[in-house]
Amino acid sequence: MKQNYEKTAAELLAEHGVTQERGLTAQEASSRLELYGPNAFEKEKKTKLIVKILAQLKDVSVIILLIAAVLSLTMAIIEWEGLHSLIEPLVVFAVIVMNVILAVTQERSAENALEALGNLSSPVCRVLRDGSVGECDPKRLVPGDIILLKTGDLVPADARLLRSESLAVDESSLTGESVPAEKDADAQLEGDIPLGDRANMVFSGCLVTAGNAVAIVTETGMQTQIGKIARFLTETKQKKTPLQVRLDKVGKIISGIAVMSAIVLFVVSLIQNGGVLTMDMIIVAITLAVAAVPETLSLIVTLILTQGAKKMAAKNALIRQMQSVETLGSTSVICSDKTGTLTMNKMTVKRLWVYGAEPVPEDADFDGQKMRFLEQLALACTATVGRDDDGNEKIIGDPTETAIVTLAKAKGIDYEHLGDRYEKVGEVPFSSSRKMMTAVVRRPEGGYLVLTKGAFDRIPFDRSDKNVLYELEQMHDSFASDALRVITLAGKVVDTLPENLEEVESGLTFYGFVGIIDPPRPEAKAAIARAKAAGIRTIMITGDHAATAGAIARELGIITANEGIITGQELQKLSDEKFAEVIEFYSVYARVSPEDKIRIVKAWQTRGEVVAMTGDGVNDAPALKAADVGVAMGKNGTEVAKSAAKMILMDDKFSTIIEAVAEGRNIFSNIRKLVYFLLVCNISEIIVMLFAQFMSGEGWGLPLTPLMLLIINVLGDGIPGMALAKEESDKRIMNRKPIARNESFFGGGLMEVIIRQTFVFAIVTLAAYYVGLHVEMGGVAPTIEAAQTMAFLVTGWTSILHVLTVRSRKSIVFYHVKDNPRLYISCAVMLVLLGGLAGLAAIPAVGEALEMSALSGWQWLIVVALTLAPTIVAEYGKFWDYIRSRNAERTRVR
C-alpha cells in the first residue's frame, strides 16, 4: 500500500473526495470530525494523590511498622498510665507519616510531557472550505481539509503539499537536523523514505521558515508523526531505577529477617507459656518490629540524593527525579543526540577557498583576496542584524547565511553598512527547485555586481575548461567528504540590467567555496574520552545524514576502527534478535525515527546496560522517557523533551553529564555505606531481642524497650547517618568500571564484614545487659533497669562510632576531621546526648519515663570498654584486608 508521500496530489484529492479549488464543505468537515475525532492528543491519566499514598503503604517495612504502631497504641490504651504511654505509638506513627510524605513528594514523572506537546499546535490555521478561506481552530481540522501555509506558521497537521513556493520548514524537533528542510510539492518519492527526506510532506508542530504553500491534510491527532510520539510517551512506562531495585532488595532482606524472627519468637513464646498468648508476647513483637525496620533509611537516602542534586545544580544540571542522580553512577552507555548536545546547534563556516589559493580554516588570517571574497558572500546574504529579548546582538535569517554573516563580522566587515557602498538593486530569491539565489548590487565605481550563491552543480558558471572544472570538483568533494555543507559563490559585472532579472544568471565566473557545518562543542571530545576511561560507551543517535554524523563522530572520538554507522532504514530491516547480536558494532545511528531511538535504548537495556539518553527535540521525548536516565537540553530543548527527561542540562554541555556520572558514583558509594551502617545496627538489635527471649526462662527480660530502640534508631543511627551525605569518594572513582545494573550493595566482600560486625555488636550489647542484670558493682545491686540502661548506652554508642568505621575500607586513622567535620560534630553531640539521657535517669521521674536507672562508676567504665570493642574488631579486619590485598598485588606483579 502506498504511503501518502508516494501518492500524487491528484490521487490524494480523489481519495479524500475534495477539490483544491473549493475544499471540504462545512457539513462534510463536521461529519469527518465525528468520524476521526479532534486534531488533538489523548490525555494521559494522572495518578491521584491517595493512590500514590496507598502505593507507599504496600511496602513490607511500612506494613511492619504500621502493625507495631497499632499494637503499641492498643497496649497503651489497655495499660493506660498517663499521656507518656502514647510516646511510643506516636513516634512510630510519626516515622511512618514522614517516610510516606518523603516518598510521595520525591516521586517525579513525565506527566507534563503530553501537555507540552499540545503547546506545539498552532493557535489558529487557515483552511479552505466551501470555496472560501477562513480561520479555523486546528483541533477542528480533519483529513481532506485544504490548508494554506505561510512563513511563520506552525503546521497544524500532517499534510501532502499540493503547491509550494520557496517553502522551507524547520523540522529539527522531529528529525534533529539543524538546517530547515526544503520542500517541493512536485517531488515524486517511492519506497521507504526517511522522515527528513519526505520533501512533499509537512508535519504537525513544525515551523514554516520561508515561502508559502497549499496542502491537503492527511493525518490528524494521534495519527500524525507528533501524535505517534505522544502515543509512545503514553505507552512507555518508566522502569524502576537501579537504586529503587537495590533498596527494595534491602527492604525484603530486612523484612524477611523480621518475619522469620517474629515467627521463631512467637513459637518460642507459646512453648514457654504453655500455648497461652500474653501481653508480654505483644510487647516483644512490637519491640522486634521496631528493631527490625531502619526507620531513618528513607530519610537519609533522600538526604544523600538531595545533596547530590544540589551539587549537580551548581554544575548546571537540574535533577527532576532524585533517584536518577544515583542511576547516573551506574550508566554504562550514553546515547547522545548530535545536534545541540555534541555540537553547537549553530551552523558555522569551517573552511574557505578562493580559486587560485589554498583552502584555509575560519580562524586563519585572511588576506585581501579572501576578505574580498567574504565581503561578496555577505553581500549575497539577506540575513539581518537585530536584538534578542535580553538586548544582545542577534543575526536573524537562514542558518547558512547566519554562519556567513557571523564570520564576516568576526573578520571586521561592517555588514550592517555594506549597503551604504553597495546598494542592493535586485534579487532573485532562493527556491528548492533552483537551489541558488542571486543578489545584484550597484558598484561605487559604476555598473552592477551580480553575485550568485548556492549548490555547486546548479550555478551557471563557465565549465568549458575541463582541467579547471576537474580542480573545482576535487576541491568540492574534499569539502563534502568532511561532511561540510558546500556553498558556491560565482558572479560577474554588468553595465545594465535586463527587464527579467533571472537573465543575469548566466556566464558567471567562479569565485570560491565556503564549507559550513554545525561544529562539535569544544569540551565534548575531552568529556567523551573521560567517559571512555570510566568504562562508559558513547553512542550517537541522530536524525541527521550519515555522512555528517560520521564526520562529527570521528572528530569526537566516538567512532574507532571497529565500529560503524547504521541508518534508520538499515536498522528497520534487522529483526530484534539480529539487532541484539550486532548492536555493539555500531556507535553511530543516523537518519533514525523516534521509534528507532526507543528500539536502540531498549536493545542496550536488554544487554544489562544502564542507558542515559540525551536529546532536545520532540522526536527525542519517547526515548528520553524509556531510558534509565533521560537528559534534556535546558537552553535549546523543547518543553516536551524537558518534561519527559529526569535531568535537564542548563548549559547543554555533554561534559556536564560526565560530571553527573561522577556524582552518581559518589552517591552509590555513600548509600552503600549507609546500608552497611544501618543493617549492622538493626540486625544486631534483632539478634539481641531473639537471644533474650530464648533466655527468658533464665530470668532475662527485654534488654531494650521499644522506646529505647526508637531513640537509638533516630538519634544514634539517624543523625550520624545523615552526615554520610557529605562524604566524598576516592578521586579515582571515574577510573573504575560502571556499577552494574544487578550489582548488589553487598558485593566486594561487604556481606562478610556486615555479618562479622553484626555479631560483635550483638555480643557487646548482651554482655552489657548481662553485667547489669547479674553482676554487683561498686555496691550497687544488679537490676533490670540498670541492665537495660547499660544495653541502651552500648547499643547507641556503638552505632554512633560505627559511622566512622563505614566511611572507608581504610583505617579511621587515615581520615581527618576536616574531611567531613559535620560527621564528627554529629557523632560527638549524639554521644553526649545519649550519655546525658542515661545520666538524667538518676532523676526518678525522668528515669521512670525513659525506663532507665542511674549507673555506678564501674558500670559506666564497663559500658565504655564494651562500646570500643566493635571498632577495634573492625580496625583489625581492615588491617588484615590490607595485608591480603597487598600480597595479592605482589603475586599479580610477579
Distance in angstroms (rounded) separating the CA atoms of residues 209 and 181: 9
The radius of gyration computed from the CA coordinates of the chain, to the nearest angstrom, equals 36
User: Is residue 452 within 8 Å of residue 459, measured between CB atoms?
Assistant: yes
- Residue 436 forms beta bridges with which residues? 454
At residue 383, what are phi and psi to the nearest 5 degrees? -65, 150
Reported as type and span, the H/E element at residue 550 is helix 546-556
For 609, the grid coordinates are 546496560
Amino acid letter, residue 408: A
Residue 188 carries which DSSP code? -
Residue 872 carries which DSSP code? H
User: Is residue 143 within 8 Å of residue 218, measured between CB atoms?
Assistant: yes
**SS3 assignment, position 814:** helix
User: Is residue 296 within 8 Å of residue 721, measured between CB atoms?
Assistant: yes
| Nearest CA among 273, 227, 26 for reference residue 144 | 26
Distance in angstroms (rounded) separating the CA atoms of residues 767 and 870: 13
Distance in angstroms (rounded) separating the CA atoms of residues 304 and 326: 10
Q: Which of the residues 145, 337, 616, 717 is marked catalytic? A: 337
Distance in angstroms (rounded) separating the CA atoms of residues 528 and 553: 10
User: Is residue 666 within 8 Å of residue 651, measured between CB atoms?
Assistant: no
- Residue for cell digits 552526615? 723
| Nearest CA among 354, 6, 441 for reference residue 189 | 6
* Residue 337 is a catalytic residue: yes
Distance in angstroms (rounded) separating the CA atoms of residues 541 and 544: 9
Residue 180 carries which DSSP code? P
* Dihedral (Cα; 93, 97, 103, 105), 10-degree rounding: -170
Residue 237 carries which DSSP code? P
Instruction: Find the angle CA(604)-CA(605)-CA(608) to the nearest 5 degrees.
Output: 100
- Residue for cell digits 490525555? 43
Distance in angstroms (rounded) separating the CA atoms of residues 867 and 876: 16
- The total of other beta-carbon atoms located within 10 Å of residue 209's CB is 19
**SS3 assignment, position 600:** helix
Q: Which residue numbers are catalytic?
A: 337
